[in-house]
Amino acid sequence: MGSDTDTAIKAIEWRGDHLRILDQTYLPNREVYSDIEDVGRIWEAIKKLRVRGAPAIGIAAAYGFYLGIKELPESTFESFWVEVERIAEYLETARPTAVNLHWALSRLKSTIQAHKDKDISEIKEIVLKTAKTIHDEDKRINKKIGENGLELVKKKSNILTHCNTGSLATGQYGTALSVIFHAHQAAKDIHVWVDETRPLLQGARLTSWELMNAEIPMKLITDSMAGSLMQQGKVDLIIVGADRVAANGDTANKIGTYPLAVLAKENDVPFYVAVPLSTIDMELESGDKIPIEEREGDEIASFNGSQVAPDKVETYNPAFDVTPHKYITGFITERGIIKPDFKEEFEKLFTD
């Protein structure tokens, strides 16, 4: 990594008139880049996890929104706005749990309304400029999250993480992995336990790949090993990301996060969630209001393309679980470390 902790991974890149993504369904075996020129392919890329991670989904959706509106007729603002809302609603159906998707689209729609007196051709260019701003802001925010989290990492810490929260899941650096990257850069001599993250193995396929590229000491474990490691005193700190945080601190993240938090509490292991403020949804009072995406059953009835369960087996495959705020030690954000009472502290942040 460079002196600025640049991971050199560009999972999302705007190329003049189209979006280029690193298709994460091929990792770690192949690095395949796809050029995307229309909103339908952006929707498919988000739905099929070719691009994934809440911040990255928001960025991709912002560019996809522009690709969706750029060819719209430039007659009246009223007819243009009808199509704008249709495209935004369409994109939101791709991944309902990740709040960054909704946040990015809402920001773009508000931008359009603020400039509704301008020519529609000019509004389109403003939308693209705003999408690029969202992308650039995410990079700066994630770097700050990593820097702020440094104070939590002691020398020779063993850190456990779940799913993937690095440059692949964001504009750059990551959230939870940004803390890890910065700790490594600061010569804290860390070691990382990487949960495989069933059923789609984002930890095994993606986090391991990122950490190995950055030459950070790590070991891959199955999800069910984490409790045993904590019991043996081999985990000093857990840092995860999130797809949506409710106003009281309840947190939706990749399935398997909630049991980690419960085990951490039982074993006195600090449990932190690293998120940009855009992932905090102050409109939702608690986690039971967070919509949870349920995915296709073949993701758990098969493994690496091979069937591992009987034909016609019934499945239940939620992509996320919700960790109650009482199990969370704190949130690592671009504005610093947030400790309980989360509702009170969040309200301060959003009213400052």
Catalytic positions are: 243
Amino acid letter, 164:
N
- Residue 160 sits at φ, ψ, to 5 deg, of -105, 135
Instruction: State the DSSP string of 6-54.
Output: -----SEEE-SSSEEEE-TTSTTT---EEEE-SHHHHHHHHHTTSS-SH
CA atoms of 137 and 21, how far apart (whole Å): 18
Is omega for the bond preceding 189 within 30 degrees of 0, making it cis? no
- Which residues in 39-71 are b (16+ Cβ under 10 Å) and which e? bebbbebbeebbbbbbbbbbbbbbbbbbbbbbe
Asked if residues 295 and 317 have their Cβ atoms less than 8 Å apart, the reply is yes
What is the β-pairing status of strands 191-195 and 218-221?
Answer: parallel
Terminal CA-CA length for the chain: 35
**Contact present, 98 and 244 (Cβ < 8 Å):** yes
Structure tokens that stand for 28 in this block = 């770690």
